[in-house]
């Protein structure tokens, strides 16, 4: 058995009031040269919801669910919460862990993916938090990527079926299934793997579609940012919806498979902007839910912990064309600082 004396949930962070929106966005975009006007435009998305991102509340609920799952399995382990871009900051959380006598903790991140943004950047967060806490900082071990965990596949497949049931009955059997994930610059995509993130998302989409009973589906991208001259992963979900409308599609089910929780990119970009675009095109629209704080997501987190603590074989769904040869992306190994480089 490999011992831990705590679990840290590491996430992106989000504002929890109107006065926090701009400071949060400045944290997210620091060093990227994003014009103030662009930040003010994005801020309006948050202000539409009272300046509150859903992500922190969801993560607190997820922590409660993880604590319940740990107790159900007979494990007493404190669960801490740290963020990259907003309170509670990872630096403050690691310092609190140090002060509480934590020596070694597992880290579960709210990203299922490899690549820089999905994995390596969280490793950088861990290193920054430990450096700030000083020589007595606890050891922090990031658990593996979980894009092919059976519970993740199951949750999204169930969500698709539930979304389909909300469509008019006469359209359900003909609805087009569309998977979305956050776009990234092509340069970043090619550097990691190469194309590790893109391949993992496509792999998971195929697993979920099969589990939900769909042979045909589309994989697209959303929420790109940055200068328009910089190429990002395409097609964009909005552009793709225009194509579907031109082809006579009457109903779509959108599954944000790239997100494990309702970020603002889900509740604004999809539930507001894309849903409005679909309505204007005369397309019935349904959006599959993300795992959020479901008990099954908590079970998944504790499964990853137990794989390490008890030396258990990783739980994985094997597709017909597995993502080839990317170390921790397929063999259940712990993430290493170089796994997304």
**Is 307 assigned a ligand-binding role in the annotation?**
no
Name the β-bridge partners of 105: 6, 140
Element (H, E) at 166: none
Q: Which helix (H) or strand (E) holds 280?
A: helix 275-280
CA–CA separation, 198 vs 265, rounded Å? 18
182 is in an annotated binding site: yes
- Which residue in 273, 271, 264, 263 sits closest to 287, CA to CA? 271
Q: Measured between alpha carbons, how far is 171 from 186 in angstroms, rounded to an integer?
A: 36
Q: Report the C-alpha gap between 300 and 282 in whole angstroms.
A: 38
Say which residues have a Cβ less than 8 Å from residue 210's Cβ, sequence separation at least 6: 319
* Residue 265, annotated as binding a ligand: yes
Cα–Cα distances in angstroms (integers) from residue 284 to residues 157, 164, 222, 234, in the given order: 20, 10, 19, 23
227: left (phi over 0), alpha (psi -120 to 50) or beta: beta
Kindly compute the dihedral angle of the four CA atoms of residues 197, 83, 292, 299, in this order, to the nearest 10 degrees: 90
The distance from CA 234 to its chain's CA centroid, rounded to whole angstroms, is 19
190 annotated to a ligand binding site: no
Residue positions forming the annotated binding site for Fe(2+)? 182, 265
Residue positions forming the annotated binding site for Fe-coproporphyrin III? 53, 122
Residue positions forming the annotated binding site? 53, 122, 182, 265
């Amino acid at each position: 058995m490999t011992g831990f004396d705590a679990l840290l949930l590491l996430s992106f962070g989000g504002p929890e009031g109107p006065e926090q929106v701009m400071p949060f966005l400045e944290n997210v975009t620091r060093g990227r040269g994003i014009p103030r006007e662009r930040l003010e435009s994005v801020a309006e998305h948050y202000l539409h919801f009272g300046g509150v991102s859903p992500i922190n509340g969801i993560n607190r609920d997820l922590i409660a669910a993880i604590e319940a799952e740990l107790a159900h399995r007979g494990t007493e382990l404190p669960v801490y919460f740290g963020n990259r871009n907003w309170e509670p900051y990872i630096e403050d959380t690691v310092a609190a862990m140090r002060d509480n006598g934590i020596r070694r903790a597992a880290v579960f991140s709210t990203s299922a993916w490899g690549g820089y943004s999905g994995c390596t950047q969280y490793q950088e967060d861990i290193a920054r938090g430990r450096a700030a806490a000083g020589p007595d900082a606890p050891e922090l071990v990031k658990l593996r990527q979980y894009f092919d965990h059976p519970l993740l596949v199951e949750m999204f497949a169930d969500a698709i079926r539930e979304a389909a049931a909300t469509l008019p009955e006469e359209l359900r059997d003909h609805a087009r299934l569309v998977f979305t994930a956050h776009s990234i610059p092509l340069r970043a995509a090619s550097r990691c793997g190469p194309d590790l993130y893109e391949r993992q998302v496509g792999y998971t989409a195929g697993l979920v579609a099969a589990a939900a009973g769909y042979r045909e589906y589309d994989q697209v991208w959303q929420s790109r940012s940055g200068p328009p001259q910089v190429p990002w992963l395409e097609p964009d979900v909005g552009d793709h919806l225009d194509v579907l409308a031109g082809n006579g599609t009457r109903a779509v089910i959108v599954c944000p498979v790239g997100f494990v929780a309702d970020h603002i990119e889900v509740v604004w970009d999809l539930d507001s902007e894309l849903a409005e675009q679909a309505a204007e095109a005369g397309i019935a629209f349904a959006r599959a839910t993300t795992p959020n704080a479901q008990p099954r997501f908590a079970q998944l987190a504790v499964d990853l912990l137990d794989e390490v603590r008890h030396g258990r074989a990783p739980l994985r769904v094997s597709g017909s064309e597995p993502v080839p040869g990317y170390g921790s992306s397929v063999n259940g190994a712990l993430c290493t600082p170089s796994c997304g480089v």
